[in-house]
Amino acid sequence: MDKWNMTKVLFDESQNYLASGVSSNLRLAMKPFPIYIREAHGAKLFDVDGNEYIDYIMAYGPQILGHSHPNIVNAICSQVKQAQTYGAQHVGEIELAKRIKKYVPCVDLVSYASTGSEAVQVALRLSRAFTGRQKFVRFEGHYHGWMDNIFTAFGNSNKEGSTNKGSIIPGTKGQNLKALEDTILLPWNNVEALEKTLVEHQDEIAAVITEPIMCNSGCILPLPGYMEKLRELTSKYGIVLIFDEVITGFRLGLGGAQEYTGITPDLVTMGKALAGGLPLSAVGGKKEIMELISRSEVYHMGTMNGNPLCTASAIASIDYLSDEKNNAYTQMNKLVDILVTEINNLSEQYNLPLLINRAGPVFHTMFTDETEITHFSQFQQRDSKAFERLAEIFLEEGLAVRPSGLWYLSTAHTEQDIYASLEIIDKSFQRFKNS
């Protein structure tokens, strides 16, 4: 593997120091090796061996302005000279909250954390305290972080749904199985399963948490009327509706999936694209729920919460995205239009059964004979191994794409990047076809 000599040496070395050699198990999915990056600018990654890649992984979502955007770099640099963290209040927290409140429909008040997983836990805690109930509904194929009460195996697919009598498969060994006892796992985009469960368990259910677009499994959109029904039923039974917008927040638009679907939940969790590459997440929502934190009835702590470097980066990112002259979302959507159309043309040309599901500047490519994928159970039938092989070829040819098939665009991608990518895709399809 001449192309990755240095990467290979470093990956071997890291096995002696880092458990698994990577810092998040998911990164092991990259084949033939998890590459070692030297630096990244705009839409490009540069590895330690001198290879260059057009990047569609975008750090799994956060890099909405691309890598090392000057506005982000300047904001962080000027903040870092003042202080790195205070453990005290600062103006950046307010300035960021003002922006979130302005753009995200459900938000009256916010509370910050560092990761999406944490924000989800705060939202669940708030929901329990607000309703006095314990259970919550989540959906197959959605991901809400790695904590014990919500991490379930992705293979979980059960047409009837599961109210957990030992039937929910935990996501990992070592998980506290008791923590899953309050989880009700349902198929998504299935009104009957939802309605039946909410009617039967209405007095026990504190919250329904959903990715408003199923970005973690096939970028599946809600079927017409599904979100409306979800909103209607949760309101009817006094259940808190949580949109987990860790991916969709500030990615689908300034108002995230709430703007995209027109549905306003009670609480929202955000991370990733919120802070342009720094570790910051937020839970936000209606005043009457968030005030539980204001009154210290619900505790939310964290040494790093509202870290000034992170808020500075988030403010710079949102200010860039909201500046009309940058045309950020229109531009990203225009480029995805070209990319998706041309990938479809190429897959037709090479007779590859590649299907694309898309929501704004994020899309999922998968090998399937289905003509549309609207449910997780169908998504599970895709040929995931074939796409992993293709992603490996992409990487060899200079395109960084997640082996799962989820692609992110940034404002730094240019038309030139898109056409250069299409040349690589063409060549890769050819190699894939002949392999």
Site residues, ligand PLP (CB under 6 A): 115-117, 120, 143-145, 211, 216, 244, 246-247, 271
Nearer to ligand PLP, 212 or 398 (CB): 212
Q: Which is nearer to ligand PLP, 280 or 292 (CB)?
A: 280
Output the smallest distance, CB 95 to ligand PLP, in A.
Answer: 22
Which of the 8 DSSP states describes residue 184? E
In whole angstroms, the minimum distance from the beta carbon of 124 to ligand PLP comes to 12
Cβ at position 99, least distance to ligand PLP in Å: 20
CA distances from 162 to 120, 168, 417 (A): 21, 7, 45
Shorter beta-carbon distance to ligand PLP: residue 359 or 425: 359
> CA 387, CA 409: separation in Å to the nearest integer?
19
Least distance in angstroms from the C-beta of 397 to ligand PLP: 26
Question: How far is the CA of 288 from the CAs of 120, 130, 269, in angstroms?
Answer: 18, 9, 17
Q: Please state the closest distance from residue 178 (CB atom) to ligand PLP, in A.
A: 22
143 tagged catalytic: yes
Please tell me the total number of residues recorded for the chain in this structure: 435
Helix (H, G, I), strand (E, B) or coil at 104: coil
Structure tokens belonging to residue 243:
């949109």
Do residues 145 and 209 touch, judged by C-beta distance below 8 A? no
Q: How many CA atoms lie within 13 A of 70 on its CB side?
A: 0
Q: Is 88 left (phi over 0), alpha (psi -120 to 50) or beta?
A: beta
Annotated active-site residue in 49, 55, 182, 244: 244
| Inter-residue contact 20 to 413 (CB < 8 Å) | no
Cβ closest to ligand PLP, residue 59 vs residue 340:
59
Indicate the residue whose CB is closest to ligand PLP.
116
Residue 56 falls in the annotated catalytic set: no
Written in H, E and C, the secondary structure of 242-264 is: EEEECCCCCCCCCCHHHHHHCCC
Active-site position among 103, 143, 226, 329: 143
Nearer to ligand PLP among residue 216 and residue 234 (C-beta): 216
Catalytic residue among 44, 135, 272, 286: 272
Residues marked active site are found at 143, 244, 272
